[in-house]
Structure 1
Amino acid sequence: MGFRHISYYLLLSILLIVSGTAKSQECEGSLGDPVLTYDFGRGSAAFGPAIPDKTNYNYVIGQPSDGSYTIIKTTQGMGHVSAGNWLSVGNHTPNQSNGYMMLINADDRQAGIFYQGEASGLCPGTTYEFAAWIINVMAKPGIRPNVRFSIESMTGQVLKEFDTGEIPEGSNIDWRRYAGTFRTTSSRVIVKIKNNGLGGGGNDFAIDDITFRACGPVIIPSINTERVSTKELCVLIKKTFTFSAEVSPGVYTDPEYLWQQMAANGSWFDLPGQTTTNLTQTFDHPPIGAYKYRLLIAERGNINEENCRSNSPDYTINVVEPPVAVSLRAQAVCLGDVIVLDAKTNGATYQWTGPNSFASTEESPNIPNAGNNMSGRYTVVVTTSGGCIETEEIDLAVIPAPQPKINPITAICKGSSIQLQASGGLTYRWSPGTGLSQTDISNPIASPLQTTTYKVYASNGACEVPTEITVIVLKDPLANAGPDKKMMKGEQVQLNAEATGDEIIYQWSPSTYLDNPNILNPVATPPSDITYTLTVTSTFGCIVSTDEVFVRVYQKVEIPNAFSPNGDGVNDLWKITAADMFPTASVRVVNRYGEVVFRSTNYDDKPWDGKYKNSDVPPGVYYYVINLNTGLKPLSGSLTVIR
């Protein structure tokens, strides 16, 4: 796609200079509409056609090497991008996803002019701004592009020559605009592109959106003597506006002016007879919308030539609706709370009045510590910058805060429910909602799985006041009667029971032979084997837990403390009574020196005859240890051998 309104012999001049200072200079005054535009076109194909202008660079479809260029939508998918050498860059033209750009890989063989073209249709004696957007596509440091644009007359006179300076690496959206101004001597110019740098490791860039625009004087806009370019007008108001332009001298020898207005479709149309730097327009209740005007300026005789004129910034009158209805955040507040007034309308002023001599010009004033004397009617007058005025009134009441209460409750068993009952408000909000049947009533059913503190917010329509209650969930009773026990008849044993749960009581059965059947660790003295059952019960009627313990009672072993093994048939043997009840019992007798004189394992009612190694032991005191092997403690003591 070439420059619109001129031949394709426009020339772009891209100079790659390793060092240099940016010399581009944008138009400092007012710009006209783009009269010449080159954006390399658009299309559905990934690559666009070669440029029709003169160039000594090779056109390729694909990734360009040194001395080549391509016309492309994006660098995405190219090998240099995949390798991390290039950025993934798309074309610059706004709102043109299918637009193309020129991607250039600088020539590493020679420097000099590599592109030249002619632009025609310009106005002699007019200052223009030539501009282009350029991006360094290198993702890594390397030789930086430096582009020189040279504008010459048809006779070779240099009208303007400017450099971009080194274009640094950046992000994939770091497009930069470079521009320079020149004054025409005829309707045609030559544009040259020069490359004074070398290619190789870098010097790869893209260019897009090249434009010529007339550059006029500085224009300072005013509306009704105020140095602004935008005003607002209420649709209900009839008003006259005077648009003025302060034009700096020196650009045009004999300037000529013409005012334009923007049509609904976005195009501009002339306002006949409006040829001074002032324009007066009366708005008589026009439809809501934006009304735009601008002043054209050109050398006399050229005002109707689009390529020869510049224009002022847009003057805009925004016709707007009246302000929206004003409202208060609440029509009632509680004593001691903050009254929050709210009247948000963009670009407006406010005048509030109310009880107790209240007055404010804030948009949303706050009145702290509300008292009874602050009840009444509040009024606000809203005036927009466009002149619309809206008055709103609202009656506000200051009321006492609610005093919420919750009826006391008892604890509950796990898996049970209880009804909560709050009072003191008009509406209620419970939190957390876990385990509640509803959260917006006064009396929800609570079924928490664990002890939970609930907070209820009681509201009177103006404010909320919280209070809380804790629902205690009792742990289920769990009985553990402890390990089975063994004891000798006539002795005692303590039961080692355990129990968990909340608010629990204990009961042993049968209660016979227990010192206290209502404690966890009673002392038992049964005369024979017995099974005790521990029952653990919650005082709140939760589930009952039971467990059993067996107490084994052994007959008491009678151990003589003396015998006389003299063969007279009386008390000749040391015989342990009831030993036959302990078939695995072991018996050991030692003398005073600790020497074992009698040993019996698996005692089977074979008493000691007072012999050791078939010889009578001397009379005297001996010591015994009897291990019944039942888990009971060993029996020990002394016995006397009498001869």
Structure 2
Amino acid sequence: MYRLIKTLSFLFILLFAFFARAQVCTGTFGPPLINQTFGQGNDTDNWYGPLAQYAPGASTSTTFMGPPGPSPRNLTANQSGLVKTPATPGNPYPIYWLPHADHTGDNNGLMLLIDGVATPTVFFEQKMDDLCPNTMLRLSIWVLNTNSPAANAQPPKMILKVIDPNGNLLGSASTGNVTADGMWHQYTLDFSNGNNSTVTLQLVNDTPTNSGNDFALDDITVQACGPGITPFFNLNNAALNMCEGNTSSFTVNANISPEYVNPVYQWQENKGADWVNINGVTTKPATINFLNQPAGIYQYRLITAINGNIDKVFCRAVSDPITVTVNPLPIARAENSGPFCTGNTIQLTASGGTSYSWTGPNGFTSTAQNPTLTNATKAMEGEYTVTVMANGCSSNASTNVKVSDPLQISTNVQMVSICEGKSVQLTVSGGTEYLWQPANGLSDPNSANPVAAPAETTTYTVKVSQGLCSETAQITVNVNKNAMADAGADQKIVTGQKITLNGKVSNDATYLWTPADYLDDPAKLNPVATPPHDITYTLHASSSLGCSSSSDEVNITVYPKVVIPNTFSPNGDNVNDTWNIPAAASFPNPVVKIMNRYGNLVYQSTGPFKPWDGKMNGKDLPPGVYYYSVYLNEDFQTYTGWLMLVR
């Protein structure tokens, strides 16, 4: 009988375990009710403990090592420790335990490192309190085979068990062999806790060897199965966007499947600090008063539970959040680079948004951020408004454009003529500042009334300014040159010769030679002159444009005709008694020499010419042929020849 009862009890336990494991969540598993992460380490320490400090509710039947940890730095069978990485500093067997971060990849996150044994004992327990009775739960653990694949060690294997406070099995599952691939592996067990608010997770070693049975545990969680909740706004929107200063109330609702029996609801709001209940909002569809809300992120979620359990954290289902974003109004700015002058380019600028829309005078519109208006006119003056948009929100800004009237400038003349060396006053009006260019010949290039005395014909451009506006005008000053006379170089002729005067005049002039004596035509620029004696002619030039006249002189030197006799008879009869050259008397310093047939000098006259009387040193020279050379001046060649002295 005892054996039958024992057998029936064993079958009951197996059936209970089967049904417990066979339960299926028809809703969704919510956020973790329990989350055992084994705590956080620091940048310096390698071993941590005690276990209860870093992992509340957890216990182990292995020998817990640390801190400071074992020496040498490796665990032996049935030992455990809290570490940041299996390959702790000083580990003498790095081929077995490789470096690896915790399940989340946090280099300072802790894990429970265990060197398992072959005995199928409960090596780890995690107590889980405050659970809601009659709830479908999911247990999840993460396991890392800490051995290197190169070690070719026996992989760890364990059984997940959940028991009630009386030791009754609520569910179990095997991990199978945990592969040595350097990756964390997740294992889950779904079970119902019945009427129990406290259950205990047990991990049982299922590896038939001590060698290689090395592994790490991390992130043990329990999630409750609740109805699937899909919250939404208004017409099934998952998110809303509004603009600051233009917020409005909205409806929240949710699709829930399956519903609790006799469900109750509570909407919560999170404005950035934490989730809080919204007073009075306890229906599935509900209206949220959302008027005049500042910019920010607002989240909403729905909590549902069986009536009476809404305030029990582990006995209710919580939806994912849906979000309302209240965007700040863009800070709109509008500017222009004015004031502007007629004909300028108007530059408008805006900032503060991602898109822009301008309106202005004369039907102006533009979607450019910084539009330009060319060839400004007075009609373009006025207020320009831009609508600045960002994140669906808009603000307006305006800027006033001023366009100055065109300057009305005037000058006293547009073109004027002056004689060379004279001046004229130029006058311009219509502004407050003036600049003449070029400055050559001006008394003051910054004056409105400068005196101009250019040497050549010049066109002056004056820039007339008033504020930022300016206009230009031009005045041309024609410079009429004075008449210029050039009578040419002085000349020399011999009596009876003709000479052409080399006169020149310039700059549109009339001319006349004076005196008219011995000229073939004094009104010609190049008359022919035949003066019998020295004479000075003057060329007169008169400007046809009324400018200054001028004159220039040319001296004509007329030398007598040179006649040199070749015979004389100094016999005292007073007829042809001397050798005389009449023209020599016209020259101040002629040089006359006479040589005999042997080349000996017999006579010389230097200075005013003195006729030769046929003597040498007061004595008569014998009749015969003598030779002469006569130098009158630089204008004449030296005359040479012979003469006959006759007695």
Structure 1 length-normalised TM: 0.45
Higher percent of residues as helix: 2
